[in-house]
Amino acid sequence: MASGHTKHLWFTLQWLGCQHNSQMVTSLSLEGYYSSLSGVFLVYSVCGRKWGKNSVLGRFVVGDQPLESQYPSLFRVVLDKNIPISSVLGPTRPFYWNLNFRRNLLDSEIEDLEGLMRSLDGLHLSPSVPDARLWPLSSSGLFSVKSFFLTLSQFSGSPQVFPSKFVWNSQIAFKVQSFIWLVAHKKVNTNDMLQLRRPYKALSPNICILCMKHGESADHIFLHCSLTIGLWHRLFQLAKMDWVPSRSILDMMYIKFNGFGSSKRGIALWQAANIALIRIVWRERNARIFEDKARNSEFLWDSIVFLTSLWAYCSKVFKGTPLNVIQLDWIAVCTP
C-alpha cells in the first residue's frame, strides 16, 4: 500500500477517535465505537431496527441502505459476508470493529472505508440482546397508523388531509360513500381515466356528454361542466350563499361551507345535498351514454332534492321528521 494513503487513512481513523496500531488493512480494528444502530429499512425509510447479537453483516444498515448496497466494493472483498455483527464487534466497551478483508484494499476502496467509518460514528449497538424491529416515530417503539399519519402531515408540501368526515361521516349508504371516495381520488371511469388505462385505444369523441364542449374528467363533470355548475349555483342560492367554483372537486369537499348551519341537522343535510348532486350528475352522465336518455336541469334538481331528503329522513338526526316536511323546506328543518 502506498505510504501516502496509509498516512491519510491513519489520520482519518484518529479523527474518528479510533486507535489503530497496524498498517495492514486486511484486518482493521477500530476502537471508540459504541453500538446501537438505529437503522432504517431499505423499503420503508422510517422503519428502524435495534441491532443486536444476531445481526448479519450484509444486512447491516448504514444510513438508509444496507452495507452491501451502499458500499458494494467493500462488501465484495469481505472475507465472510454472512458473519454476525457480534463476531465483527469487540466483546467489551469501548467496542472495536474487526472488518476482515480477503486482500489489501485499493485506493478507491480505502476512500469507501473512510466513508463507512464516518457513517458508523456515534452509532450504538446492543450485542448482548437479540435484534428487534423499532418504530422511531413513537416513544414506545411500536408501529401505529396515527404516528405515521402525523409525521406525514408535518412535511411541507405534503398533500392535504383527506376530507374523511365529509365522505365517511355522512349519513348515507356505504355504497354511495365509496363512490364519493372514488370521485375524490379521481378514480371513476371518466374518459381521461379510461384513456390512461387503454392508451392504445382512441376514445372518440373524447367530450363531456353533458355539455358537449370540453373533455371529460372528474373535475369537469362534477364541478366545471355548465350543467353541473348550474346545479351547484342553485344549491348555494338555496343556502343564501355566494359561491365561486373551486379548482377541483376535492377542494370542494375540503371546504366547510356550513350551508344549512352548524347544527347536526344542518351539517348532515348539507353533506347529503352535496353528495346527492354528485351522484345525480353521474347517473345522468351514464343515462346519456348508455341509454341515450337526456333530462333537463329542472328534472335533475328535483331528483337531488328528493334523494337528499330521503337520505336525511333515514338518518338518526332527522328521526321522527316526516319525509314530506324535510323535502318541503330544508332551511326550516335545520333551524333549532
Same domain for 179 and 326?
Answer: yes
In this structure, are 12 and 119 located in the same domain?
yes
Within a domain: residue 26? yes
Contact 77, 103 (CB under 8 A): yes
Domain span at 302? 164-334
> Measured at the alpha carbon of residue 263, what is the angle toward residues 239 and 178, in degrees to the nearest 5?
80
Q: Are 98 and 217 within one domain?
A: no
- Position 144 pLDDT exceeds 90: no
Helices within 19-106 (DSSP H only): 67-70, 72-76, 85-88
Tell whether 322 is covered by a domain: yes
Q: pTM for this one?
A: 0.57
Residues 181 and 318 in one domain: yes
Give the pLDDT of residue 65: 64
**Of 73, 102, 126, which residue sits at a domain end?**
126
Burial class (CB in 10 A: 0-12, 13-18, 19+), 77: middle
**Grid cell for residue 136:** 422511531
Q: Does a structural domain hold residue 15? A: yes
265 and 325 both lie in a single domain? yes
**Structural domain ending residue among the three candidates 99, 126, 153:** 126
Residue 143 falls inside a structural domain: no
Domains contained in the chain, number: 2
Residue 161 binned pLDDT confidence (cut-offs 50, 70, 90): low
Distance, CA of 172 to CA of 84 (rounded, Å):
57
Residue 192 and residue 69 share a domain: no
Of the given ranges (84-88, 134-138, 300-304), which has the lowest mean pLDDT?
84-88
Average pLDDT, the chain: 75
Q: What percent of the chain has pLDDT over 70?
A: 66
The reply to whether 195 and 71 lie within a common domain is: no
Residues 285-307: what's their mean pLDDT?
Answer: 95
Which range is least confidently modeled, 132-136, 221-225, 262-266? 132-136
Q: Would you say 45 and 63 are in contact if contact means Cβ atoms under 8 Å apart? A: no
Q: Is residue 248 part of a domain?
A: yes
Looking at residue 261, its amino acid is G
Q: Do 106 and 214 lie in a common domain?
A: no
Whether residues 117 and 173 share a domain: the answer is no
In the chain, % of residues over pLDDT 90: 37
Mean pLDDT of 25-39: 28
Torsion of CA 38, 43, 46, 52, to 10 degrees: -20
The verdict on 113 and 194 lying in the same domain is no
- Using CA of residue 197, residue 201, residue 205, residue 209, what is the dihedral sign? negative
